[in-house]
Structure 1
Amino acid sequence: MHVIFRAKSFQYILGSNSITHVCRLNNNAFVQRDVCKQCNIFKFNKSRNINNMAGECPGENNDQKTQRQTIMIVGLGNHDLPTTRHSVGMMFVDKLAKMLGCTLTKNRDCLGFIGVKELTTLKVVLLKPKLAMNINGTSVKKTANVFQVQPKNIYLVHDDLDKDVGKIGLKEKGSASGHNGVKSVINNFKTDEIPRLRIGIGRPHCVDLVPTYVLKKFMPLELADIDLALQLGVDKLDDHLMSRFGHSGIRVLRTNS
């Protein structure tokens, strides 16, 4: 709602979008002086009495609708092994779904479990592929087609052997670094310009143990580090979305938390 107050011969209208509208008072009517940069399609009506003015800027809502973009957040992993190191990306999506009050349901067209949440400036699609890790790119591509999401707006969340347990990092593009799930996604989209949030799971001392290691559950002493990493991952992803899309000072992924 806009707050209106008088100061000498000017009318100041402060909007929820933090932009100041300045109007000159003229016989209990108002005349446009400056137009809100966000609501540049809004024109004040000279004959409209100030007491009857709508409390919300019409341009603001229209502008938000036209600028809303769809993003996908994909938790890579093995759906049948949900609590293993290799499925930490799915653990992340489960946490995010709970924070957003979003239910994940099976979707045959997407070959996975889908949750959709409408935020003020974004439409968030959560995905946990049902396919095996090395072919889950098919599920990601099908879901992107259904919701018309560009690769640059798809965030992959996956385990990283090269990071210590609980360490996180965000990478905007680049090679799969040996991760079969990421490699499958890149092959399906024919581009590596797909952002990804990496969560460290540590690496065994012997390379021959990697296939077995990634399919094991975290040790009890590691669970606290993983819980913290999931929260830090939400913050990291949220900061990246804020830098790209903005949200009037409201944290995008923590609207309902």
Structure 2
Amino acid sequence: MATKKVLLVGLGNYTHPQTRHSIGLLLLDYIASQLNLTWSKKKSIHAYTTQSITIYIDPSLSSKQTQTKQSKKEKKAKKKRWDFGSESDEDTERNIINGDTTEQDENNLIGPSLPQNISSDLISPPNTVDPRKFKPKPDPVPLELTLLKPLLLMNHSGKSVSKAVRELGFSHTNIIIIHDDMQREFGKISIKNGGSANGHNGVKSVIDHLKTDEFRRLRIGIGRPPGEINDKTHDIVTDFVLSRVPHNEMETYNSDIFPRCKDELFKASIQTLQ
């Protein structure tokens, strides 16, 4: 299977990397550390990039979903085995108490005898898998990932993205833009396929420079200013998004939100290439 290329772009203000508005930059730093990647400055595209790395993604269900389904099946199978064993033990105990341990009873402890005209070789073991129901596991999908952090201000980040697409040889269908989203609760993430910028100036800049909105985005919910402020004026919103991420929120990002984002990005990368 041929290796496919994907460019992950984190939006933000590089001069304020620890703020809510720069959550795209923080996520890429997390992914780079997970994949042991290093950053280098590319002046021609006004950005920091990592070296390309090829990873292999399982296109089937996520491991968590698979483990959940397997555990249910195992529990069901164990329950059946337990029920069968309980019935056998009761039958055995009843036969012993009644002094009825004949040779036929001893055979019954192993299993029912077969009719004389049927060969045991023709009987499939109880756990044999029906080949008609067997589905081979799909091959892992190789992805060549490159990470990019624009060095321009958020409102001009599209210039960096368009230069990267041309110089690094990417199609707009093979990039995923990562950005903050005030319209979503803190920690809520979603993939968007194309469409308007929905008021996000960084995304608007990318659309303007690529001359298309046909690219994928990972939106990370940062929430809105606390309810007690009850003020959504421009100054209040600006202070909120440009404020440093609190320590407790940063812990939640690293332990829960960023791992989920990474999984969603890898899934979206496969879908982008289909």
Give the corresponding residue for 2:71: none
Find out whether 1:219 has 2:246 as its counterpart: yes
Counterpart of 1:199 (choices 210, 215, 220) is 220
User: What secondary structure, in the 3-state scheme, does the structure 1 residue paired with 2:13 have?
Assistant: coil
Offset from partner CA, 1:52-84 (integer Å, 9 cap, x none):
xxxxxxxxxxxx4xx222211001000010100
Q: Report the Cα offset of residue 243 of structure 1.
A: 4.1
Q: Specify which structure has the higher proportion of helix.
A: 2
Indicate the percent of aligned positions where both proteins have the same amino acid: 38
Q: TM-score, normalised by structure 2?
A: 0.63
How do 1:78-227 and structure 2 match up within 5 A?
78-119=13-54, 121-204=142-225, 205-208=230-233, 209-227=236-254
What amino acid maps onto 1:81 in structure 2?
H
Counterpart of 2:264 (choices 236, 247, 254) is 236
User: What secondary structure, in the 3-state scheme, does the structure 2 residue paired with 1:207 have?
Assistant: coil
User: What secondary structure, in the 3-state scheme, does the structure 1 residue paired with 2:147 have?
Assistant: strand
Dislocated runs of 4+, deviation >6 Å: none
What amino acid maps onto 2:23 in structure 1?
V
Consecutive unaligned residues of structure 1, counting only runs of 5 or more, are 1-63, 247-257
Q: Specify which structure has the higher proportion of strand.
A: 1
Alignment root-mean-square deviation, CA = 1.5
User: What secondary structure, in the 3-state scheme, does the structure 2 residue paired with 1:145 have?
Assistant: helix
Q: Report the Cα offset of residue 166 of structure 1.
A: 1.2
Q: TM-score, normalised by structure 1?
A: 0.67
Q: Report the Cα offset of residue 245 of structure 1.
A: 5.0
User: What secondary structure, in the 3-state scheme, does the structure 2 residue paired with 1:114 have?
Assistant: strand
What amino acid maps onto 1:233 in structure 2?
C
Query: In 2 relative to 1, CA 203–152 (structure 1 residues): closer, same or farther, beyond 3 Å?
Result: same
Q: Which has the larger radius of gyration?
A: 2
What amino acid maps onto 2:149 in structure 1?
K
Offset from partner CA, 1:119-138 (integer Å, 9 cap, x none):
15222111000000000100
Offset from partner CA, 1:124-175 (integer Å, 9 cap, x none):
1110000000001000111111111111111001100011111111111111
Counterpart of 1:76 (choices 1, 11, 23) is 11
Number of aligned residue pairs: give it.
181
